[in-house]
Amino acid sequence: MRDCVLVRVYGERTELLVDRENEVRNFQLLRAHGCAPKLYCTFQNGLCYEYVQGVALGPEHIREPQLFRLIALEMAKIHTIHANGSLPKPTLWHKMHRYFTLVKDEISPSLSADVPKVEVLEQELAWLKEHLSQLDSPVVFCHNDLLCKNIIYDSDKGRVCFIDYEYAGYNYQAFDIGNHFNEFAGVNVVDYSRYPARETQVQWLRYYLEAQKGTAASPREVERLYAQVNKFALASHFFWALWALIQNQYSTISFDFLRYAVIRFNQYFKVKPQVSALEMPK
């Protein structure tokens, strides 16, 4: 296994979703900071890199305190990276608008009665941008796709490594964390009863803030980040629902992307009332 390399071939039409040159730049940037494996070569429709020793985690693992502590520490480390020459402008709104433009002509009752109407999605997108932009979440270098299988745990070294940097780039700190919390529900079998409880989140956020600051976090700091994270988790539902609608059109992977889009939209509308009512500590 020491001589093992990993070759990844890009999926059908994924260039609609992912800027491949940006992915390679992110890979090299993360590698330079000790947060990614070696990148050996790139070719037109893929890349080849060092195999990361360890196991890809599942939803049952990322809720274990000793593991989620390592995940929080690694995320805090990545969030301190500065890409020289790159303006820290969040990619979220630009990407969501692009995805929305790609799918809005496809959305119709014949696609699925369960997908919200274009006008509704347009309103929600405007609402998200207006509300979340006001929360003052810092813009940092983010992974943006921290699902379980993108976290490799090496039990010998007692550390985790994040893989797959297709969506990495500058974004809101709270989006990266909220997106990861949504992934507690899983992908193939999605169960939002596994979304981390308040006390789990508070412990996770405390580990994260302490790693970032080097000192203990105050209850107010934890509360503030908790509110931001749960509000940005809404944007994560919306983002991946739009993404799934694009994949539904073009992907050759055997996965029910349309069903997944509906699940994410449903969860968005279900949690929106309680999350939007969350008070931000001053």
- For the stretch 237-273, pLDDT in tens is 999 999 999 999 999 999 999 999 999 999 999 999 9
- 158 torsion bin: left (phi>0), alpha (psi -120 to 50), beta (else): left
Question: Residue 208's domain is classified under what CATH number?
Answer: 3.90.1200.10
For 65, the domain range is: 54-277
Q: How far apart are CA 24 and CA 42, in angstroms?
A: 8
Q: Quick one: pLDDT band at residue 85, thresholds 50, 70, 90? A: low
Q: Quick one: pLDDT band at residue 86, thresholds 50, 70, 90? A: low
CB 118 within 8 A of CB 101: no
- Count of domains in the chain? 1
Residue 124 vs residue 104, higher pLDDT: 124
Percent of the chain topping pLDDT 70: 99
CB 187 within 8 A of CB 181: no
pLDDT at 60 over 70: yes
pLDDT at 100 over 90: yes
- Classify residue 197: in a domain, yes or no: yes
